[in-house]
């Protein structure tokens, strides 16, 4: 054991082969062979990590911190939010702020060098949000780390890459409601005289419209004489083209029963469901759009009172309406137009859900016209 142990690497400087070595704590006289081997492995891993994550100054022969490496994550997030605010929409900036504020609180006091894949995995596991929100948050956080790597020259690898999202249970899914559940939910709206929530459910169910689109509809978009609502480019889910929503006669009759003057030019720029002041109550025909959060909160309370499964959503009424149309004989092409789909494969989602709802016995025909079985 008289020989000294080192962990080292070679590098070239001005054509000369030089050596960097570390041996602190590796040559204790009291250590046996097994202990020295163990210490050497630990030191070797640490040196390998330095080479991959930190800058080595070949002139001084020392490892150096980069500008971002020693900063706390909180400081970096604060700087990033100032920059990103100028590049994204208000809605996206709000999502970035929500996510990064939670992440900053989760890693309070930690520097960038201390954050790794295990940290990020634990953070996402702690989030009590919908799976689709987690997927969006994963993207936002990955963009943040890419900014650190590309702009701040942080010598790290992106800890979000390859990260799998583990959903919190129970999770919400767009499941189909039974007829009994639909009746109970509508009765609940009637008992509380909540005509707005009832109308939202009718429109999602009967007009196959998304809640986010419904809350953007203005009175001028209605063309009830032609049984449709035409949303201009930029107002529907797909921003690059207009969206036509087909209105069946029963839905049209319900809309007319609301007493709204759909053809009055003075109301054309008013929202179908909205408010007249930013913090006032919601109503039909309002100057400002209704908040999606308000509807979500009302429906969450409805589920609590009625004992509706937590893994059923308001958007599930869109799926329910489509499945029931198929049960009543509608063709996929009809559903494709009603939902504004560009591919039939999108519409087939509802056919797959139908399999879960309808017993196999329904598909046994009493007679066949395609062939005589004799």
Instruction: Residue 109: give its domain's CATH number.
Output: 1.10.150
271-275, strands of its sheet edge to edge = 283-286, 271-275, 288-289
**What is the domain count for the chain?**
3
Distances (CA, A) of 183 to 58, 110, 189, 197, 312: 75, 53, 10, 14, 15
- Is residue 358 classed as helix, strand or coil in its secondary structure? coil
Q: Which of 60, 165, 167, 76 is nearest to 114 (CA)?
A: 76
Task: Looking at the structure, tell me whether residues 203 and 87 fall in a common domain.
Answer: no
Select the more confidently predicted residue: 242 or 188.
188
* Contacts of residue 341, Cβ cutoff 8 Å, sequence gap at least 6: 335, 347
Q: Centre a 10 Å sphere on the Cβ of residue 147 and count the other Cβ atoms it contains.
A: 16
Is the pLDDT reported for residue 222 higher than 90? yes
Q: Average pLDDT in the 38-53 region?
A: 73
Q: Indicate whether 228 pLDDT > 50.
A: yes
- Residues 251, 345, single domain; the answer is yes
Of 131, 56, 60, 137, nearest to 96 by C-alpha is: 137
Would you say residue 74 has pLDDT above 60? yes
Is 77's pLDDT higher than 60? Answer: yes
* Cα gap 127→322, rounded to integer Å: 32
pLDDT tens digits, 130-183: 777 888 899 999 999 999 888 877 777 889 988 887 765 555 556 889 889 999
Confidence band for 253, pLDDT divided at 50, 70 and 90: very high
Same domain for 281 and 354? yes
- Specify if 369 maps to a domain: no
Q: Decide if 317 is inside a domain.
A: yes
**How much is the mean pLDDT over the chain?**
82
Confidence of residue 68 (pLDDT cuts 50, 70, 90): low
Stronger pLDDT, 226 or 12, i.e. the higher one: 226
Per-residue confidence (pLDDT) for residue 45, from 0 to 100: 77
Mean pLDDT along residues 178-199: 93
Residue 41 domain flag = yes
Lowest mean pLDDT among 73-82, 196-205, 273-282: 273-282
- For 90-94, 192-196, 358-362, which range has the lowest pLDDT when averaged over its residues? 358-362
Q: Is residue 166 in some structural domain?
A: no
Are residues 105 and 137 part of one domain?
Answer: yes
Whether residues 213 and 352 fall in one domain: yes
Asked if pLDDT for residue 20 goes beyond 90, the answer is no
How many whole angstroms separate alpha carbon 48 and alpha carbon 22? 12
* Residue at token pair 């006091």: 109
pLDDT at 58: 64
Indicate which CATH number applies to the domain containing 226.
Answer: 1.10.443.10
pTM of the shown model:
0.56
Residue 61 or 90, more confident: 90
* Of 270 and 6, the one with more pLDDT: 270
pLDDT band at 24 (very low <50, low <70, confident <90, very high): confident
Domain shared by 237 and 302, yes or no? yes
Least confident of 158-162, 250-254, 342-346: 342-346
For residue 92, the model assigns a pLDDT of 84
State residue 1's pLDDT score: 47
Least confident of 14-28, 114-128, 180-194, 263-277: 14-28
pLDDT at 264 over 70: yes
Q: SS3 for 154?
A: coil
Angle separating helix axes 195-206 and 316-327, nearest 10 degrees: 50
Judgement on whether residues 189 and 298 belong to the same structural domain of the protein: yes
Q: Are residues 80 and 13 in the same domain?
A: no
* Higher local confidence (pLDDT), 287 or 367: 287
- Name the range with the highest mean pLDDT among 183-197, 314-328, 338-352: 183-197
Query: What pLDDT, on the 0 to 100 scale, is given for residue 372?
Result: 56
Give the pLDDT mean for 289-318.
90
Percent of the chain surpassing pLDDT 90? 29
169: in domain: no
- Residue 18 structural domain: 7-64
Q: Is 273 among the domain residues? A: yes
- Taking residues 110-114, report their average pLDDT: 78
pLDDT band at 69 (very low <50, low <70, confident <90, very high): low
In a domain, 161, yes or no: no
pLDDT digits (tens, 9 = 90+) for 100-109: 999 999 988 7
**47 and 90 both lie in a single domain:** no
Are 38 and 96 part of one and the same domain?
no
The counts of H helices and E strands in the chain are 13, 10
For residue 302, tell me if it sits in a domain: yes
Give the residue from 19, 47, 64 where a domain finishes. Answer: 64
Q: Based on the domain organization, do 342 and 199 belong to the same domain?
A: yes
| Whether residue 198 is found in the same domain as residue 49 | no
């Amino acid at each position: 054991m008289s020989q000294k142990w080192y962990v080292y690497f070679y590098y070239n400087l001005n054509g000369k082969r030089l050596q960097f070595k570390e041996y602190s704590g590796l040559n204790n006289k009291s250590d046996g062979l097994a202990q020295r081997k163990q210490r050497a492995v630990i030191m070797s891993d640490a040196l390998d990590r330095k080479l991959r994550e930190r800058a080595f100054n070949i002139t001084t022969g020392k490892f150096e911190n980069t500008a971002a490496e020693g900063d706390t994550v909180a400081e970096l997030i604060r700087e990033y939010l100032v920059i990103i605010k100028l590049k994204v929409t208000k809605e996206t900036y709000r999502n970035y702020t929500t996510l990064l504020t939670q992440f900053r609180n989760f890693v309070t006091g930690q520097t960038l060098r201390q954050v790794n894949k295990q940290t990020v995995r634990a953070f996402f596991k702690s989030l009590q949000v919908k799976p689709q929100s987690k997927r969006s948050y994963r993207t936002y956080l990955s963009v943040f780390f890419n900014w650190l790597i590309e702009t701040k020259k942080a010598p790290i690898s992106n800890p979000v890459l390859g990260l799998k999202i583990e959903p919190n249970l129970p999770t919400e899914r767009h499941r189909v409601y039974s007829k009994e559940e639909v009746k109970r939910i509508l009765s609940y709206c009637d008992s509380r005289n909540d005509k707005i929530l009832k109308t939202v459910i009718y429109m999602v169910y009967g007009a196959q419209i998304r809640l986010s689109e419904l809350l953007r509809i203005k009175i001028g978009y209605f063309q009830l004489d032609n049984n449709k609502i035409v949303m201009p480019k930029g107002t529907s889910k797909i921003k690059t083209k207009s969206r036509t929503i087909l209105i069946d006669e029963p839905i049209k009759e319900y809309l007319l029963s609301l007493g709204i003057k759909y053809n009055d030019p003075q109301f054309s720029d008013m929202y179908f469901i909205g408010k007249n002041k930013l913090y006032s109550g919601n109503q039909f025909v309002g100057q400002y759009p209704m908040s999606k959060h308000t509807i979500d909160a009302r429906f969450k309370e409805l589920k609590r009172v009625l004992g509706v499964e937590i893994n059923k959503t308001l958007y599930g009424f869109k799926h329910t309406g489509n499945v029931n149309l198929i049960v009543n004989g509608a063709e996929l092409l009809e559903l494709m137009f009603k939902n504004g789909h560009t591919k039939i494969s999108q519409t087939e989602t509802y056919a797959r859900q139908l399999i879960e709802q309808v017993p196999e016995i329904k598909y046994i025909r009493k007679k066949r016209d395609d062939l005589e079985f004799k």
